Amino acid sequence: MRALLANQRGSITIVMVAALAALLGFAVLVIDVGLLYVNRAELVNMADAAALAGIQDLPDDIVRAEASSRAYAAINGRSNDSVAVAIPSNKVVAVTAARVVELTFAKILGIHRAEVRAEAAAVLRPISGVMGVVPFGVVKQDFIYGQTYDLKVGASDGYAGNYDALALGGTGSRNYADNIKYGYEAKLSVGQWVSTETGNMSGGTTEGVNYRIQADAAATYDTVEPGSPRIVIVPLIESIMNDTGRHDVKIVGFAGFFLEGVSGSGNLNNVSGKFMHLVTAGDTSGTAPDFGVYSASLVPYESVIQ
């Protein structure tokens, strides 16, 4: 009988040891796998943010785009992270990040560390719809980066009745001037028809343009920062009829300009701006024409890096 009890106690001991080993293994799984999961989530967020930060400097400055991505990764990552930035084209930024994680309970099993990785890619696509445009209907053309264009013309340019002003969300000088100051509050899209605003609207034009310029008077085309009120988006139209009366015009795209100034009064009122590339929030589509205004979005890494 005593021998039987002793054998049973021995069996229980073996079962308990096996159970403790299983619990230990489970602790390793839960704690260290959880640790790896948290670190990878941090890397994913960092890589996403770094890709989106770099894409803001494209398509014009590839060197600056890479620097911005690396700087953002350094701010949001850890000192031991390994970060690689690739820019396969002037509209794509791809980021890979790796981190060696020191494990806790897995060390008991001889596993001291493990590597986690994350990948992210951001692309620029031409916008097909956007909010905040100013009410100047510029005829589409092959714009040259850094060149000055008329955003609204005067009678001296040979126009009469319609001078590139648009009636967005209503008519009248007050509505028109507010749309210049603050941007039209509703979304406009490629393919949409809008109405012209008759007359030169010189008072509302001068008020609205000067409001924007005075809000960032020290800015120049070379020094202006994103978000400046002197950066404007205008709807591009197919053509404008050179006669009196309102006309509906079709939006065929959007372009960005640095607002240079307004000159003249009465029918000689004119607005000028320098063409620039611009990244902003907006809708995109595969068919939107490319006039230099883009929206940035994250895409699968494998879709841009083979």
pLDDT tens track, the chain, 306 positions: 454 444 544 455 555 555 555 555 555 566 767 788 888 999 999 999 999 999 999 999 999 999 999 999 999 998 899 999 999 999 999 999 999 988 776 666 676 778 999 999 999 999 999 999 999 999 999 999 999 999 988 766 656 667 688 999 999 899 999 999 999 999 999 999 999 988 788 899 999 999 999 999 999 999 999 899 999 999 999 887 666 667 899 999 999 999 999 998 877 888 999 999 999 999 998 788 999 999 999 999 999 887
Q: Where are the alpha helices (DSSP H) in the chain?
A: 2-55, 62-76, 173-182, 202-215
Q: What is the pLDDT of residue 228?
A: 97
Q: Are 269 and 200 in contact (CB under 8 A)?
A: yes
Residue 172 backbone phi and psi in degrees, to 5: 100, 155
Q: How far is CA 190 from the centre of its chain?
A: 19
What's the one-letter identity of residue 147?
Answer: Q
Q: What is the pLDDT of residue 190?
A: 96
Q: Are 282 and 130 in contact (CB under 8 A)?
A: yes
Q: Are 254 and 291 in contact (CB under 8 A)?
A: yes
| Tokens read off for 71 | 């700087």
